[in-house]
Amino acid sequence: MGFTDNHDGSSVADATEGAVLARIFPRLPASDAAIVGPGDDSAVMSAPDTRYVVTTDMMVHGPDFRWAWSTPWQLGWKAAATNLSDVAAMGARPTGLVVALAVPESTPVTVLEEFSDGLREACVSLAPGCGVVGGDLSVSATFTIAITAFGDLEERQPVLRSGARPGDVVAVSGRLGMASLGLDLLFSRGVDANGVPDASRARSVGEQHPELVGAQLTPQPPIGDGPLAAVAGATAMMDISDGLALDASRMARASHVTLAFESLLLGDDVDAALRGSEDHGLLACFPAGVELPGGFERIGMVSERGTDDVTCDGDALIVKGWDPYTEWDGAAG
């Protein structure tokens, strides 16, 4: 596991940008929506709806991932999955990705190939037809990934955070809290005696708890449920990336309502469900009486705006979740 594993072949410092791209691009998925793909100054994408959804996300070694815990393949998968989920949260179907990488000169080219393989497999598995249409390579002391994702609304209205109404049902698609429990295991048991992330210990933890560690390193966001929610009439929706409580508070403020959860509907570990980050599930609100689509399950109701953004069993929740400006301790490992 991890960047520190041995890799055969040249590093990026030994190859030209063109040579690296020639090894990467054949491994990347093509986009069904691409009219002109990689190779020109810009890609050309079809937009039959005349509108498109666009989002971007960065992953930086240290605050966002640790090489001692992630293989390049896992990192490619997660980089794709986290962007695809933001497109799905608007009710759109992902159509294309633009990938920019800034990597240390010592990075083996095989690391970028394996990263590309993970990215490809995530697209194929989670969003068939979505592919990479371009990107950029550069050199940096810190391994940095920036991805821009595009999506097709397919003539539907985008589902915003601001549309929840009193009386709506609050529902979630995806497993809550598992990714944070996996991260807790890595921080507690995937480190050496000095608290530094350790690849062999992380591998052992992953073998003992594959579901929890997998939820953190290779998330499985319910991409297809985003468009299904839009078709079913979802009034509001968003990706759960910073923790249910924190993200729900953002939806509540945007919609000027209160989201009221029921603990019995949140699973066995209510605190992990509420506070855990990086679930990359979908939080949505639906009119009362609507049959919940796909994997959505009811977790509460929307009420008139009160003094609190989010409650659980009637009690106000202390809103807390992932914030890279307050959570990262700088120990990249």
Residue 57, marked binder: yes
Residue 144, marked binder: no
Identify which has the larger pLDDT, 328 or 221.
221
pLDDT band at 37 (very low <50, low <70, confident <90, very high): confident
Helices (H) and strands (E) in the chain, counts: 10, 13
Looking at residue 9, its pLDDT comes to 63
Looking at the DSSP assignment, which residues form a beta bridge with residue 123? none
Q: Each residue of 135-158: b (16+ CB within 10 Å) or e? A: bebeeeeebbbbbbbbbbbeebee
Residue 161, marked binder: yes
Give me 106's structure tokens: 């010592």
- Helix (H) / strand (E) element for 125: namely helix 109-126
Residue 188, marked binder: no
Residue 309, marked binder: no
Residue 56, marked binder: yes
Give me 298's structure tokens: 């009811």
Looking at residue 328, its pLDDT comes to 43
DSSP assignment letter at 174 = S
Per-residue pLDDT tens over the stretch 71-104: 999 999 999 999 999 999 999 999 999 999 999 9
* CA separation for the pair 97, 126 (Å, rounded): 13
Give me 305's structure tokens: 């705006």
Identify which has the larger pLDDT, 14 or 167.
167
* CA separation for the pair 205, 200 (Å, rounded): 9
Mean pLDDT across the stretch 291-304? Answer: 97
188 Cβ neighbours under 8 A, 6+ residues apart: none
Contact 217, 203 (CB under 8 A): no
Looking at residue 116, its pLDDT comes to 96
Share of the chain above pLDDT 90, in %: 80
Render 285-304 in DSSP notation, one character per residue.
Answer: EE-TTPPPPTT-EEEEEEEE
Mean pLDDT across the stretch 147-167? Answer: 97
Query: Does residue 322 have a pLDDT over 70?
Result: no
Residue 279, marked binder: no
3-state secondary structure of 30: coil
Averaged pLDDT of the chain: 91
Residue 136, marked binder: yes
pLDDT band at 7 (very low <50, low <70, confident <90, very high): low
Q: In what order do the strands lie in the sheet with 93-103?
A: 53-60, 144-152, 93-103, 131-139
* C-beta neighbour count of 173 within 10 angstroms: 25
**What is the CATH code for 161-174+221-323?**
3.90.650.10
Lowest average pLDDT, out of 3-7, 25-29, 66-70, goes to 3-7
Contact 266, 301 (CB under 8 A): no
Looking at residue 222, its pLDDT comes to 98
CATH class of 12-152: alpha beta
Mean pLDDT across the stretch 39-64? Answer: 91
* CA separation for the pair 206, 241 (Å, rounded): 21
Region of residue 154 (phi > 0: left; psi between -120 and 50: alpha; otherwise: beta): left
Q: Where are the domains of the chain?
A: 12-152, 161-174+221-323, 181-218
3-state secondary structure of 132: strand
Place of tokens 């049959």: 291
Tell me the residue ranges of DSSP E strands in the chain: 34-36, 44-45, 53-60, 93-103, 131-139, 144-152, 169-173, 236-240, 257-261, 281-286, 297-304, 310-312, 315-316
Per-residue pLDDT tens over the stretch 110-144: 999 999 999 999 999 999 999 999 999 999 999 99
Residue 328, marked binder: no
* CA separation for the pair 163, 174 (Å, rounded): 21
Query: Does residue 4 have a pLDDT over 60?
Result: no
